[in-house]
């Protein structure tokens, strides 16, 4: 040793990750935080932020739906109080915000909806059992999209089913079943899996029965466009097939000018031949009318892939509008 004093290197400053306070949001943000630390070597601090959607007890359709869970997080980003944010992608408005970048869309979890029912019964079993007892199955959901498809399914089969509007976190919703107030609830499979509660699923509702919300099962990581270094670092978490698929779904939603409070469903899936199939549904909540259409096309995962996917979504939405989708949504497309 040469006798020179050793200089300690200052530890890297922690990155501040903004997240909603719910158990699911914290679980999702924790997953991303660990990956960001692995990639960058920097610690990540979770900053809990309360959004309007978390505090309001009104139904999503009444408070506007789209944006109610993300606006406060975006404000924190733009004001420099956090460095990046993690959202459930289905909660994001389709319009791109000025000053913010969608830095990454990680690989999608299972996009399907899930039934959590008393005694672990499937939908068919539940309806049949309760019909034998002389009453309708009471199924809770906060989503007009789910209501529309459940009610359409029941109408097509002459099944006795009542959809009940509910709000609350996963514990609250499942509690309606375990407490006997409802016979079942419908939740996102991805959320249950991320919370380690997949074993409570009675049945995965495949898209043939229920198409999920646009972007369901995917996460969105946002940061300020001015932070080029962080944007580049976060891009390592991006999964191109997921980003392109949800681009098609969100383009359909944007063309319909609908939010997450409208009864609109969309799911884009890849074939082994790199063909993207987009299925879209628009209905009224009581299930009396349901429009379901599909479109597909080959897409190469290059710099034009998202543009091609959006074109697919716009085209399918136009067909749905021509068939009367605006009337079913209770809106008139502008």
State the pLDDT confidence band at 256, using cuts at 50, 70 and 90.
very high
Q: Is 91 among the catalytic positions?
A: yes
> Please, which residues bridge with residue 140 across strands?
164, 185
Which is catalytic among the residues 54, 75, 91, 322? 91
Measured distance CA(303)–CA(306) in Å, rounded: 7
pLDDT category, 261, cuts 50, 70, 90? low
Kindly give, in sequence order, each residue whose CB lies less than 8 Å from that of residue 65, ignoring residues fewer than 6 positions away: 259, 260, 261, 262
Please indicate whether residue 60 or residue 167 has the higher confidence score (pLDDT).
167
Number of other residues whose CB lies within 10 A of the CB of residue 80: 11
Residue 334 — very low, low, confident or very high, per pLDDT cuts 50/70/90?
very low
Enumerate domains of the chain plus CATH numbers: 13-106+218-238 (3.40.190.10), 113-205 (3.40.190.10), 239-334 (3.30.160.40)
Q: Say what the pTM is.
A: 0.89
> CA–CA distance from 323 to each of 50, 252, 282, 312, 328 (Å)?
40, 14, 10, 17, 10
Mean pLDDT of 52-77: 64
Q: Residue 171 and residue 138: Cα distance in Å, rounded?
A: 18
- Please say if the pLDDT value at position 81 is more than 80: yes
Please report the pLDDT score of residue 3 as a whole number. Answer: 52
Give the pLDDT of residue 333.
Answer: 38
In terms of pLDDT, which residue wins out, 152 or 55? 152
């Amino acid at each position: 040793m040469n006798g020179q004093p050793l200089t300690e290197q200052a530890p890297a400053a922690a990155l501040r990750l903004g997240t909603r306070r719910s158990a699911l949001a914290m679980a999702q943000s924790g997953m991303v935080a660990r990956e960001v630390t692995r990639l960058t070597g920097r610690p990540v601090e979770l900053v809990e932020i309360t959004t309007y959607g978390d505090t309001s007890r009104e139904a999503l359709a009444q408070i506007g739906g789209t944006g109610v869970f993300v606006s406060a997080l975006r404000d924190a980003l733009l004001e420099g109080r956090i460095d990046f944010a993690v959202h459930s992608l289905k909660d994001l408005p389709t319009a791109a915000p000025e000053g913010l970048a969608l830095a990454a869309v990680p690989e999608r979890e299972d996009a399907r909806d899930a039934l959590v029912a008393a005694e672990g019964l499937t939908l068919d079993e539940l309806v049949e059992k309760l019909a034998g007892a002389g009453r309708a199955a009471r199924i809770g959901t906060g989503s007009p999209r789910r209501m529309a498809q459940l009610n359409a399914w029941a109408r097509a089969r002459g099944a006795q089913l009542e959809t009940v509007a509910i709000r609350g976190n996963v514990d609250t919703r499942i509690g309606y079943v375990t407490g006997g107030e409802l016979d079942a609830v419908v939740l996102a499979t991805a959320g249950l899996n991320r919370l380690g509660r997949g074993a409570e699923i009675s049945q995965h509702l495949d898209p043939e029965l229920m198409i999920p919300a646009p972007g369901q099962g995917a996460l969105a990581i946002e940061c300020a466009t001015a932070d080029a270094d962080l944007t580049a670092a976060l891009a390592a978490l991006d999964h191109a097939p997921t980003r392109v698929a949800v681009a098609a779904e969100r383009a359909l939603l944007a063309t319909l000018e609908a939010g997450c409070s409208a009864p609109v469903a969309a799911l884009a899936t890849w074939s082994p031949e790199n063909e993207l199939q987009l299925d879209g549904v628009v209905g009224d909540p009581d299930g009396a009318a349901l429009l379901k259409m599909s479109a597909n096309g080959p897409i190469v995962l290059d710099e034009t892939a998202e543009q091609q996917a959006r074109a697919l979504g716009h085209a399918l939405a136009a067909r749905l509008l021509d068939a009367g989708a605006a009337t079913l949504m209770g809106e008139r497309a502008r």
